[in-house]
């Protein structure tokens, strides 16, 4: 019986270490995805943060007349400036990004993002940023 208890203790310890390691991976990478796989964020080498929404059902602002590409599902900001929605012809979706679980915080290059069931909130050093989800996007 004692051997069985040791096995359970070792297995439980290994599971805790594995889950902790996953959290650390999400903290130390340049990008992450939400648990639903709908939002992906990436801290780019030029000190800019970008988040893309794959499925977006929010009411979008009018598409700028000079935008001949995709509009409405990409957001960007630098370390000090205000956030913006922008016209783009690419994406940062990458299924290899680690998942940032609900209630978890990610920090990279001066940006902070928090994942919640209600969406992702990201801020820069000046507290500018966004709260984005499939159905609602607020830039501040």
d(CA 21, CA 118): 25
Terminal CA-to-CA distance of the chain, rounded, Å?
A: 59
List b or e across 108-131, with b for residues whose CB sees 16 or more CB atoms inside 10 angstroms.
beebbbbbeeebbbbbbeeebbbb
Predicted TM-score of the model (pTM):
0.79
Nearest to 118 by CA among 95, 134, 97, 139: 134
In tens digits, the chain (140 residues) has pLDDT values of 554 444 444 333 333 333 333 444 445 579 999 999 999 999 999 899 999 999 999 999 999 999 999 999 999 999 999 999 999 999 999 999 999 999 999 999 999 999 999 999 999 999 999 999 999 999 99
Q: State phi, psi for 30 to the nearest 5 degrees.
A: -75, -20
User: What is the tally of structural domains in the chain?
Assistant: 1
Range of the domain at 45: 2-139
């Amino acid at each position: 019986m004692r051997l069985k208890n040791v096995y359970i203790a070792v297995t439980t310890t290994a599971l805790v270490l594995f889950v902790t390691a996953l959290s650390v991976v999400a903290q130390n990478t340049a990008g992450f995805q939400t648990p639903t796989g709908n939002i992906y964020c990436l801290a780019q080498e030029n000190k800019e943060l970008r988040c893309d929404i794959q499925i977006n059902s929010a009411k979008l602002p009018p598409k700028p007349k000079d935008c001949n590409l995709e509009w409405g599902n990409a957001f960007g900001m630098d370390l000090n400036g205000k956030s913006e929605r922008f016209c783009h012809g690419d994406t940062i979706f990458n299924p290899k990004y680690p998942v940032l679980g609900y209630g978890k915080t990610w920090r990279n290059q001066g940006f902070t993002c928090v994942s919640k069931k209600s969406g992702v909130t990201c801020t820069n050093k000046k507290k500018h940023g966004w709260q984005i989800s499939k159905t609602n996007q607020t830039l501040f």
